[in-house]
Amino acid sequence: MGDFRELLGRDVAPRRANAGRMRFLSALPGRVLILALVVPLTIVLHLAYAGSRVTLSLFALSLQASPFTVGVLLSLLALLPMTFSVTVGRLIDRIGVRGPMLVGATLLFAGIMVAVIWPALPALFVTSCLIGSGFILFHIAVNYLAAVIGRPEDRAKNFSWLALGFSTSGFLGPMIAGFAIDWIGHRRTMLLLACFALITLIALLIKRIDAPRQPADEPGAKQRRLVDLLRSKTMRRVFIMSGLLSMVWDLFSFVVPIHGSSIGLSASTIGLILGAFGGAVFVVRLALPLVIDRLGEWQMLIAAMISTGIALFIFPLVKTVPVLIALAFFLGAGLGGAQPMIMSLLYNKAPPGRGAEAIGVRTFLINVSQTAIPLLFGALGAALGMTPVFWTMAALLVGGGYSLRKP
C-alpha cells in the first residue's frame, strides 16, 4: 500500500513555501483511498453478521428451540465479547488494526461455517460465540482506523462515512437473509452469508491495511487501568452520552412493537414506523459528511439528546399513524447523527495512546446495554405499561443533555 505515512496524511514532502497546500493534497487522497477500501469491506462483513443474527434465531426455531433458547443464543452475541472488548482496545493501541481485523473476519467466517457443516442446535451456540467475538474485534479495529486516518478535523467525517456503511449493511443483511431463507433454506443461507465474510477476509489478506502503533510502555511505567479513563470528567461525560444514546437506540425497536400492538396497529404499520426510523438514520448519515464542518460536535450531541428526549415523551401519547411515523423519523435522525459525533469525541478526548481502548470501553457499555436494559425495561413495562418506559428514557436523555451542556 506504499508509504503508510503518506496514506495517513503526514507531511512527507520536503519543506517548501507551499508545504501547507502539499499536506492537504497528500492527506486527502490517502484518506479517501483508505475509506474507499475499508467502508465497502465493512459493509460486506457487517452484512454477513447482520444476516446471520436473523438466520441464527430462525434456524434455531426450525430446530424446535424454545423462545428462551433463542434468547440465550442472541445474548451470547454480545455477552462473550463484553468480557474482552476493553482488552482488545488496548491490544489495538499496541499492535495496530491489521491483525485484529484479519482475526475478526476469520472468526466470523468460521462461526458461520460451523452452522453450515453441523446444522444442529448445539452448533448454533458455537456459531453465536464466534460471530459475536469476530465482529467485535473487527468493529473496534475499523473504528480506530477511522479515527487515525487523514487530519484530525476529518475525523467526524470518517466516522460519518463508516456509520453510513453500517446503516447500509444493517438494512441489507436481514433483508437478504429473510429472502434467502424462503428460497434456499437456513443452511444454504448461512453458506451464502459465509461467502460475504470470505470476501472481506480475502481482501484483507491481499491489501495490507494498518494504523500507527503506540510505543510499548517503558519498564517501570504506570500500569494502564480502566479506572484512569473513568476518572477523567470529560471522558465520563462522553461515556454517559454514548451509553444513554445507545440505550435509547436499542430500546426503541423493543418498545415500539409493544406500544403499537397495545393501540391496535397492524404488523405492517409497526414495520412502517420502524422503517421510518431506519430510513432517517440512513438519510442523516448520508448528509453528515457534507455539513459536519458547520456543526459543533458537542453542541450537536446535546441538541440530539434533548430533542430526542422530547420526542420520546410525546410518542406514547400519540395514536395517529402519520404523526408516529414523523416522530420515528425525527428520533432516527437525532440518534443516527449522534453516533459519528460520539466516536469522534471519544477519540479526541481519550488520553494519548488509548484511543482504541476508549472505543473498547464504549463497546463494553453497549454490550451491557444490549444484554441487561431490555430485561429491566421489559419488567417495568409489564408492571406499569409502556408509557412510563418512554417517559423514563425521555427524562434520562433530557436530564443528561442538560447536565452536559457545558463543553
pLDDT at 375: 62
Q: Does 347 lie in the same domain as 297?
A: yes
pLDDT at 83: 80
Of the candidates 173, 203, 72, 92, which has an alpha carbon nearest to the alpha carbon of residue 137? 92
What's the mean pLDDT in 147-154?
75
- Confidence bin at 40 (pLDDT 50/70/90): very high
Structural domain contains residue 218: no
Q: Check if the beta carbon of residue 169 is closer than 8 Å to that of residue 43.
A: yes
CA distances to 143, 158, 203, 273, 385 from 155, rounded to whole Å, are 10, 5, 24, 32, 42
Of residues 59 and 215, the one with the higher pLDDT is: 59
What's the mean pLDDT in 157-162?
82
Q: Distance between alpha carbon 362 and the CA centroid of its chain, in Å?
A: 10
Q: Does 289 lie in the same domain as 367?
A: yes
Q: Does 367 lie in the same domain as 240?
A: yes
pLDDT at 279: 80
Give the best-scoring range by mean pLDDT among 38-52, 162-176, 358-372: 38-52
- Confidence bin at 28 (pLDDT 50/70/90): very low
pLDDT at 37: 87
Residue 327 pLDDT > 80, yes or no?
A: yes
Structural domain contains residue 213: no
Structural domain contains residue 190: yes
Task: Tell me how far apart the alpha carbons of residues 286 and 284 are, in angstroms, rounded to a whole number.
Answer: 5
DSSP H or E run through 106: helix 98-117
Residue 68 pLDDT > 80, yes or no?
A: no
pLDDT at 200: 93
Of residues 352 and 333, the one with the higher pLDDT is: 333
Computed over every residue of the chain, the mean pLDDT equals 76
pLDDT at 101: 92
Residue 271 pLDDT > 80, yes or no?
A: no
Q: Does 84 lie in the same domain as 190?
A: yes
pLDDT at 16: 37
pLDDT at 275: 75
Neighbouring residues of 313: CB distance < 8 A, sequence distance ≥ 6: 390, 391, 394, 398
Identify the CATH number of the domain in which residue 331 sits.
1.20.1250.20
Q: Does 299 lie in the same domain as 188?
A: no
Task: Tell me how far apart the alpha carbons of residues 133 and 94 are, in angstroms, rounded to a whole number.
Answer: 20
Q: Does 287 lie in the same domain as 198?
A: no
What's the mean pLDDT in 18-45?
65
Structural domain contains residue 303: yes
Q: Does 34 lie in the same domain as 183?
A: yes
Q: Does 290 lie in the same domain as 156?
A: no
CB count, 10 Å around CB of 107? 22
Cell of 321: 399513524
Of residues 244 and 48, the one with the higher pLDDT is: 48
Q: What is this structure's pTM?
A: 0.72
CB count, 10 Å around CB of 311? 20
pLDDT at 108: 96
Task: Tell me how far apart the alpha carbons of residues 143 and 47 are, in angstroms, rounded to a whole number.
Answer: 17
- Work out how many domains the chain is built from and give that number: 2
pLDDT at 225: 63
Residue 135 pLDDT > 80, yes or no?
A: yes
Residue 317 pLDDT > 90, yes or no?
A: no
Question: 124-155 in b/e burial notation, b at 16+ Cβ within 10 A?
Answer: bbebbbbbbbbbbbbbbbbbbbbbbbbbeebb
Structural domain contains residue 396: yes
CA distances to 136, 271, 356, 389 from 113, rounded to whole Å, are 18, 31, 29, 40
CA distances to 15, 26, 31, 65 from 19, rounded to whole Å, are 6, 10, 18, 64
Q: Check if the beta carbon of residue 16 is closer than 8 Å to that of residue 139.
A: no
Q: Does 301 lie in the same domain as 163?
A: no
Of residues 143 and 6, the one with the higher pLDDT is: 143
- Confidence bin at 91 (pLDDT 50/70/90): confident
Residue 219 pLDDT > 50, yes or no?
A: no
What's the mean pLDDT in 174-193?
88
- Confidence bin at 90 (pLDDT 50/70/90): confident
Of residues 277 and 113, the one with the higher pLDDT is: 113
- Radius of gyration for the chain, computed over Cα atoms and rounded to the nearest angstrom: 22
- Confidence bin at 246 (pLDDT 50/70/90): confident
* Number of helical H runs and strand E runs in the chain: 14, 0
Of the candidates 336, 366, 230, 392, which has an alpha carbon nearest to the alpha carbon of residue 400? 392
Domain boundary, last residue among 206, 238, 261: 206
pLDDT at 190: 93
Q: Does 56 lie in the same domain as 96?
A: yes
Task: Tell me how far apart the alpha carbons of residues 381 and 373 are, in angstroms, rounded to a whole number.
Answer: 12
| Domain around 250 | 226-403
